[in-house]
Chains A and B, each alone.
Chain A
Amino acid sequence: MHDPLSSTFAALADPTRRAILARLALGETSVTELAEPFEMSMPAVSKHLKVLERAGLIARGREAQSRPCRLEPGPLKEAASWIEEYRRFWEASLDRLEEYLRKVQAAKTKGSRANRSKSKTKE
C-alpha cells in the first residue's frame, strides 16, 4: 500500500533528512552549504536530497552549478494535519477514560465501604 503520505513519512523517518528540512526552513540554500554541518560527502547528501525531492518535500533550482534547495511545505502540512486529527481523537478518548476511571474508582470505594459495614454488622 503506497500513498503520497507514506513517502512523506518514509522520507521524514531519517534524522539527517529531518535536519536538512529544518535547515531549509531557515531559507533556500545551496547543496554545498547544506552538506557543511553534516560532515557528509556530497554524494551522500545528494542521495538524501533525492529522497526528499521524490517525496515532494523540497524543490531544487535548475541553475546549472549550485541548484539551490528550498522547502515545499505542502506534504508536510498534510502530514501535520493528519497527526493533529489523530491526536485529537486520542485526547478526547483519554478525557473519557479519565471520567470513566473516576466512576469505577467511586463504585469501588462505595463497594468496599458497604462490605466493611456488612462485616461489622456480622461481628
Chain B
Amino acid sequence: MAQSTRQASAGTEFVLHRTFDASREDVWEAFTRPEHLKHWWGTPGTSVEVARHELKPGGIFHYRMKFPDGRAMWARFIFREIVAPERLVWLNGFSDEHGGLTRNPWAPNLPPETLNTVTLVEENGQTRLTVTVVPFHASEEEARVFAGGIAGMKAGFGATFQVLANYLAQRR
C-alpha cells in the first residue's frame, strides 16, 4: 500500500513520501520517459502532449497540458541532475509554446519556477520515493541559500516552525 505523509513547514518547501509496489527501475522510467509520464503527470483528467524531451542536464521536457475544462497550458521541466535510477532534479514551470519560461497564469505573483528533487530508495522489494519542492529564484546563490534553509529544517528546526504553522492555521 502506498503511504503518503506530509512534513509541515509553513513557508519555504514541502516534502512528500510515497512507497510503491514496483521496482526502482520501473518508478525511474515512469519519471524519465515521456511515454510513461503522460499517463500520470498532472491532476486527474489532465492529458499531456509531449513536444520535446531531452533527458540530460540542462535539457528540456516541453509539454502541453490539457485540462478537463478545455483549457490548455504549455509547461516545462529543465533537468539539472540525472542519476539513474535514484535521483532526479529539475526546475518546474509554465512556459510558452517555444519553451520560454512564463509565470503561472492563475497566480502571477508566485515564483515562476520550483526546484523539484525526487529520490528513490529500494526497501524490501518496494520503492520509497521522496520529493522535495522549493521555490526557485533566478540566481544560483539564492538556490544555495534555500538548500541551507532545508538543511536547517532537517537539523531539527521543524518543531520550532510548527509553532508558526499553528499560528497561521488559527488566523485562517
Contact = CB atoms under 8 A, between A and B. Distances in A.
A9 B10 CA distance: 11
Interface residues of A, number: 47
A101 interface: yes
A25 B142 CA distance: 26
Contact of B142 (A10, A79, A85): A10
Given A5-B109, A10-B145, A18-B157, A87 B6 contact: yes
Contact of A15 (B20, B133, B157): B157
Interface string B1-28: 0101010001111101010111000110
B135 A6 contact: yes
A73 B43 contact: no
B10 to A, nearest CB: 5
A77 B167 CA distance: 10
A5 B152 CA distance: 21
A102 interface: yes
Nearest to B127: A101
A10 B137 contact: yes
Given A79-B11, A97-B30, A14 B21 contact: no
A18 B11 contact: yes
A76 B148 contact: no
Interface of B is mostly: mixed
A5 B168 contact: no
Given A5-B110, A90-B16, A93-B42, A101 B10 contact: no
Interface in B157-172: 157, 160-161, 163-168, 171-172
A8 B164 CA distance: 15
A22 B8 CA distance: 14
A18 B26 contact: no
B135 A96 contact: no
A12 B129 CA distance: 26
A6 B160 CA distance: 23
A85 B131 CA distance: 15
B160 A14 contact: no
A114 B132 CA distance: 40
A90 B133 contact: yes
10 contacts: A14-B149, A15-B152, A26-B163, A76-B11, A82-B107, A90-B133, A100-B39, A101-B30, A102-B21, A105-B26
The 8 A-B residue pairs with the shortest CB-CB distance, nearest first, are: A15-B152, A25-B167, A96-B40, A13-B149, A97-B40, A12-B11, A92-B43, A101-B22
Interface of B: 2, 4, 6, 10-14, 16, 18, 20-22, 26-27, 30, 36, 39-44, 107-112, 114, 129, 131, 133, 135, 137-138, 142, 145-146, 148-149, 152-153, 157, 160-161, 163-168, 171-172
Given A100-B40, A101-B27, 9 more contacts: A3-B108, A5-B111, A12-B149, A13-B145, A76-B11, A82-B110, A88-B43, A90-B16, A94-B16
